[in-house]
Amino acid sequence: MGLAMAGEPVTPQEWSQCLSAVATHQDRAAFARLFEYFAPRVKTFMRRSGADDAAAEELAQETLLMVWRKAAQFDPATAGAGAWIFTIARNLRVDALRRERGVSARAGDIDAEFLIDGAPTPDAVLAGQQADARVRAALKELSAEQKRVIELSFYQERAHGDIAAVLGIPLGTVKSRLRLAMSKLRILLDDLS
């Protein structure tokens, strides 16, 4: 890899390239770059989902370890790199919450629960990087507040309550703003197709 790849990868294309390098020849330098960029952000994701600092750090490490182990399953034709790493973090968070509640489940079980049979329709599911670009374009059209409430939809109810308290608005208002923002996002995504 040349100098152009040094430092943090910052574009979805570079993340995809790093994942491919990990998948094809266990490239540790590429993995280190993914780790440096994504582990601290997955940690924030877990913190905002209600995990304490130590648990969030551990979940971030586990997520990146899964990225290393499953890199061969990443298919740039069907998923963007960010979305793929998001689904790994999400599944580990579901797993951690179940353990917390005393339900025994292995991460493999959670993956199966998000695996939906049935062929995707060509017009409903976009190729990975194209979808990534479209979502980014749509998100740019939203107001800062709408982006914020969309981010909220990725956290548990209890976190919604916490953030409603932080923003000083009722939980019901958070929810109605979220509904509006998601509808707008859906219209934008349909328009861009």
Partner 1 sequence: MSIQHHPSEELLTAFAAGTLDRGQHIAAATHLGHCPACRGWVKSVENVGGAVLAELPPAPMAPDALSRIAPRLAEAPHQSASRRDGDSLPDVPGLPAFVRALPAEPWVWVAPSLHVRRIELGGTSPTRVFLLKSGPGTKLLPHTHTGFELTCVLTGSFTHDNRRYAVGDFDMGTPEDEHEIEIGTDEACISLVAMQGTLRLKGVFGRLLQPLISF
Q: Taking CB under 8 A as the criterion, which residues in 139-168 touch partner 1?
A: 139, 150-151, 153-157
Binding mask 35-64 vs partner 1 (x if CB under 8 A, - otherwise)? Answer: xx-xxxxxxxx-xx-------xx--xx--x
Which of 19, 21, 82, 177 is the binder for partner 1 (CB under 8 A)? 82
Which of 112, 165, 169, 187 is the binder for partner 1 (CB under 8 A)? 112
172 binds partner 1 (CB under 8 A): no
Please report how close the Cβ of residue 57 comes to partner 1 at its closest, in angstroms. 6
CB 131 within 8 A of CB 86: no
Per-position b or e across 123-148, b if 16+ CB within 10 A of its CB: eeebebbebbebbeebeeebeeebeb
Q: Taking CB under 8 A as the criterion, which residues in 3-42 touch partner 1?
A: 12, 26, 28, 31-32, 35-36, 38-42
Give the number of residues written for the chain. Answer: 193
- Residue 93: how many other CB atoms lie within 10 Å: 23
Please report how close the Cβ of residue 6 comes to partner 1 at its closest, in angstroms. 16
How many Cα neighbours within 13 Å face the side chain of 61? 6
192 binds partner 1 (CB under 8 A): no
